[in-house]
Structure 1
């Protein structure tokens, strides 16, 4: 899966942000951090990196003027969808007897573990 992310040029941290936004829609940086038990600073760096690549963008947050919502752009949605589709295909080949629900659960667990295991800046 790490090779799959590098095919899209996504680090584990950016991938975690994109995955959360893909699954839950627009979120603030603090919400993203709490969802993965990651420091706000680490998430902010990943959001900044993703924004520099036009994968995410800030949008006004009606609930809080100073904390923008972060949402996927079309290129961001395409990138995370491509990664997820390839991962599902690999997992299907590796385990023909697993259901889509089991594969989705596996991907969810792995996407939470990757940033924690791959970056020393997590809380």
Structure 2
């Protein structure tokens, strides 16, 4: 696809991703009453679930958000007993954050609820459709990781 046409078509993707993100955020917040977690805490728990123990700076880089915000989310999760700080053999001053058993249970519950919801998407989507979507969004993320848009 020519670059100008690609740029216009990818704008269509941005036009969908923003509202989708906000709607998903609202659904997670509605579930907050069930599990008691915010979207930010959910993101931290999910990162730890998928990757194992991480430092706060690693989580910030992975989510492209500030270390300070991640630290607040980690503190909130720790206050609920969902994460704990453990020594980091690679870096004395930057502890690893890991899920506790209650943390594993709460993120498993959230993911199960989300899975049930996402099963309802329908529309005859194929594995190839989903792979293409993931590839496009991954390429777009890569672009904004490496390009200065000033």
Scaled to the shorter chain, the TM-score interval is: 0.7 to 0.9
1:48 lines up with 2:75 in the alignment: yes
Does 1 or 2 have the higher relative contact order (CA < 8 Å, sep 6+)? 1
TM-score computed with the length of structure 1 as normaliser? 0.76
1:85 lines up with 2:107 in the alignment: no
Matched with 2:100 is 73
Which of the pair has more CA radius of gyration?
2
Select the structure that is richer in helix. Answer: 2
Cα displacement (A) at 1:96: 7.2
Cα displacement (A) at 1:91: 1.2
Matched with 2:86 is 59
Q: Deviations over 1:97-120 (max 9, x none)?
A: 457994xx88xx8xxxxxxxxxxx
* Cα separation, partners in 2 of 1:60 and 1:100, compared to 1, 3 Å: farther
1:1-123 to 2 correspondences below 5 Å: 1-2=27-28, 3-95=30-122, 97-98=124-125, 102=130
Q: Deviations over 1:27-46 (max 9, x none)?
A: 00000000001101000000
* Cα separation, partners in 2 of 1:82 and 1:97, compared to 1, 3 Å: farther
Q: Which runs of 5+ in 1 are unaligned?
A: 110-123
How many residue pairs end up in the alignment?
105
Asked whether the equivalents of residues 5 and 83 of structure 1 are also in contact (C-alpha less than 8 Å), the reply is no
CA RMSD of aligned residues (A): 2.3
TM-score computed with the length of structure 2 as normaliser? 0.63
Name the CA distance, whole Å, in 2 between partners of 1:100 and 1:82: 25
Asked whether the equivalents of residues 4 and 87 of structure 1 are also in contact (C-alpha less than 8 Å), the reply is no
